[in-house]
A = this chain, B = another copy of it.
């Protein structure tokens, strides 16, 4: 199936969720991938790429390489291969590859086209849609980057066959996030169906992409409603930071973050205990961790202010409102948050 993404300013592109078909571009292109994906899937992808003049750049695998230095490696490779303004970059890998390839494309000769072929569930449902690109630096994650939309996104669930189970679950966590904040029917569908066959996985991906597309369409540059996609993330970022990004995968931290957010929702009357329990049950069914030991609640709270999403001293909390709805508020009392955090300590 095809999800057509329509953004303001006449930008639009297709997300094609299907077995790959011939990807045909009469252009010079560089495909950016990492060594893991290269060894697993390069032969497969090559069968489907019909590119005029293709060069492949294989990077090391890991979030620690998501840096300006690697961006320069990508750019230099493009210059060496004489890519011009009408050339193409192809991101073939998970979120790290997608974010970096998109960022390189956005600044190569002031912006060239790129396409995404995401290979992890997380990248397929989340990173591949929305146009956020960027790298980390010593001050934090994704702090340098650009908004740059792909020309097309090709989602083939074939690649998930080699994805470690924990990484698959990490992607499911973001799918659950979409359902809890935007679509109660989809949440109920997730409760009643398991993501253990291709048909269901494709359905869940397409639902998630559709939800994300409608949000990004309404707010491409995250001035308003797009923040809802960060449900669970405000807490997750602190958890990831406290554990040096080593203990949890991103989706796992988001899972815990959603549970903390839901406790806040219960506290201020946005959600009942039964609803929060259903979210927890669904996460547990995919073996997503649901507990985290907060050592110092005050310290945890202070951490919010370091996040790039907080403007000055105003923290915006994204909270679920029942199942399938949300609230954005910068008026949550500190004592309510601290009280919830203490329950996790």
User: Residues on A close to B: CB < 8 A?
Assistant: 8-9, 68, 72, 75, 79, 84-86, 103, 106-111, 132-134, 137, 139, 142-147, 221, 308-312
Contact = CB atoms under 8 A, between A and B. Distances in A.
Given A9-B8, A79-B139, A139-B79, A144 B108 contact: yes
Task: Give the number of copies in the complex.
Answer: 2
A197 B37 CA distance: 65
A107 B107 contact: yes
Contacts of A146: 106-107, 110-111, 146
A84, A110, A144 interface centre (most CB from chain B within 10 Å): A110
Contact of A107 (B145, B308, B312): B145
- Chain A binding surface, main DSSP class: mixed
Contacts of A108: 143-144
A110 B311 contact: no
A42 B312 CA distance: 28
Given A9-B9, A68-B72, A72-B68, A111 B147 contact: yes
A143 B72 contact: no
A308 B147 contact: no
B79 A143 contact: yes
A71 to B, nearest CB: 9
The 6 closest A-B pairs by CB, nearest first: A9-B9, A79-B139, A110-B145, A109-B308, A107-B144, A86-B311
Contacts of A79: 137, 139, 143
A250 to B, nearest CB: 18
B312 A84 contact: yes
10 contacts: A75-B137, A79-B139, A79-B143, A84-B308, A85-B309, A107-B134, A109-B144, A110-B142, A110-B147, A111-B147
Contacts of A145: 107, 109-110
B139 A84 contact: no
